[in-house]
Every structure is written in C-alpha cells, then in structure tokens.
Amino acid sequence: MKKYNSMKNIAVIGAGTMGNGIAHTFAQSGFNVNLIDISEASLEKGMATIAKNLDRMIAKEKISEADKAETLANITTLTSIRNGVKGVDLVVEAATENIDLKLNIFKQLDEACNNDTILATNTSSISITQIAAVTSRPDKVIGMHFMNPVPIMKLVEIIRGYNTTDAVTNTIMILSKTLGKVPVEANDYPGFVANRILMPMINESIETLYNGVAGVQEIDTVMMLGMAHPMGPLQLADFIGLDVCLSILNVMHDGFKNPKYAPCPLLVNMVRAGKLGIKSGEGFYDYSENRKAENVAKQFLK
C-alpha cells in the first residue's frame, strides 16, 4: 500500500453535489483526479459547478485565475469505472445514498482496481463493514464522510469498518489533513457521529411542526437565535435534501431498531410528494417564489 505522500492519482465516483465537491478539493490540492459518472450530462454539470465555485473564490481573492486553470486541468472526466480507476491510489465513491447501488459499485471497483488501491465511500450512514464485505479487500475499505459544501467545510468523518487496518486509517487521516481538512475518526455504527446526532434533531424539528407547536420560520428562528445555529434545522433539511434525510433516518431506524429514529410521517409524505427541498424547488420553504430562505442558504456558503 502506498504512503499518503506518494498518492497522486484519485478517482471520484459520482459527479453530483458531493462528488464534484470532492473532486474540486483534491484537484485544488494538486492531485490528478478522474471524475467518473455514467451520465455525460452529470459530468458537464459537475464541471460547470466546479468552475463556478472557483470563480467565487477568485472574486473573494482566495485564488488566482492561474489556480483555477490548474485545478480544472487536474480533473479528467470519464463514464467508465473500469477505465477511470486504472492505476489510481484511492477511490472515493460519492454516488447516491442507496445500499444496492453502492454494493454494486464496490464489486466493480474491487475487480478493476490494483490490489493496493484504497476504496473509500462518502456514505453518510451506511455500514462500512457491509460495503467492505462485497470486496476481497475489506482491510482497505474506509469511510470518508465529507460535509457539504465540500470545498468549504473542514470536517471529514473517517469511519473504519470492522476489518479496516490501522495503516489504512492513518493514511486517510493524514491525507485528509493535506486537503486542509480536519479528520475525526469514528467507528462503524449507523449514522456515525454527525448524522446520529443531527438527523434526530432535524426529525424532532419536523415532529414539532407536524404537531402544530410552531411554524417553519418560528422553529428555525428559535434554533438560530437561541442555540446559535448558523441555519435552522428545517432549512438545513431542505439544503441536505429531504430524501437524503429520510434515507439516513431509515438506515438508523433499521440499524438500531429504536423507535426514536423513526422518520416523522410529515417527512415521509413530503418525500413521496416530491418536495425534496432546494433541489426540487420546494420543501419546508418555497424556493420558486419565496427566495428568502435560498438567499440565506447562499450566505451559508460564503
């Protein structure tokens, strides 16, 4: 297995919000990045997002035009996993939070990658041990749970599976620091640390709304002004995606068999109705007409 300081070639699976953010972060730190997605349209959109985020950094005088050009030049887009992972030192999977999809991807990665390639997943709740079990290298499978927006947020949860070795864990911890991140090690239990604490809070906020205790803006205002949260929990749920929140809660409810993790019926119905938050144009706030919440979300990204 290569040492962190000899790692130069990275593959990122998935060009969505998390995937393009992870690719951006590695590329800006000087790594050669293969950004892989089955959809050309998703790759184009992902690269456009990276370019837009780099332009924001230029406007804030954090980087130069030359830095932007170098970062973009460090990224190659591909639609084939097999071609995209040849010779890479690390793969970071950032596909949709769906267990069957992730297991299928890791089976492909295990077959296509070199024996010493580390396989990481950006899952926010799914068992690292379960993912690792479909590979022939469970000792080299680990969780790298980046926070959104990836180029800005400092935290990376490093989750070791049951068989993940100390050497792999230490390598990824140190590698994360080279990206300017603060890695925090956690063990493999549903939701890990961040979402095990965050999602019940969001769910309880939705229950508070569902029970008629207070309105959306009132709940968010209490948490922002009373608890010094930068964004209210309902607005944060919109930002994360209500479907993602529901998926994480279902994983924890299934994993712990504890009713306190059961998703609120209001959340379930909103997801069924396609009200997923910012990405669908409507969640707890209406982003198609009322731009106030969206503007606050944009301020959070500054």
- Active centre residues (catalytic): 124, 145, 157, 195
Q: What angle do CA 280, 284, 287 make, to 5 degrees?
A: 50
Amino acid at 7: M
Asked if 84 and 90 touch (Cβ cutoff 8 Å), the reply is: no
Backbone angles phi, psi at 9, to 5 degrees: -115, 120
Distance CA 234, CA 219 (A): 8
Task: List the beta bridge partners of residue 260.
Answer: none
With left for phi above 0 and alpha for psi between -120 and 50, is residue 142 left, alpha or beta? beta
Q: Are 16 and 58 in contact (CB under 8 A)?
A: no
- Token pair 């749920």 in the structure block, residue: 237
Burial class (CB in 10 A: 0-12, 13-18, 19+), 220: buried
Contacts of 263 (CB under 8 A, 6+ apart): 203, 245, 246, 249, 250, 253
CA distance 55 to 154: 20
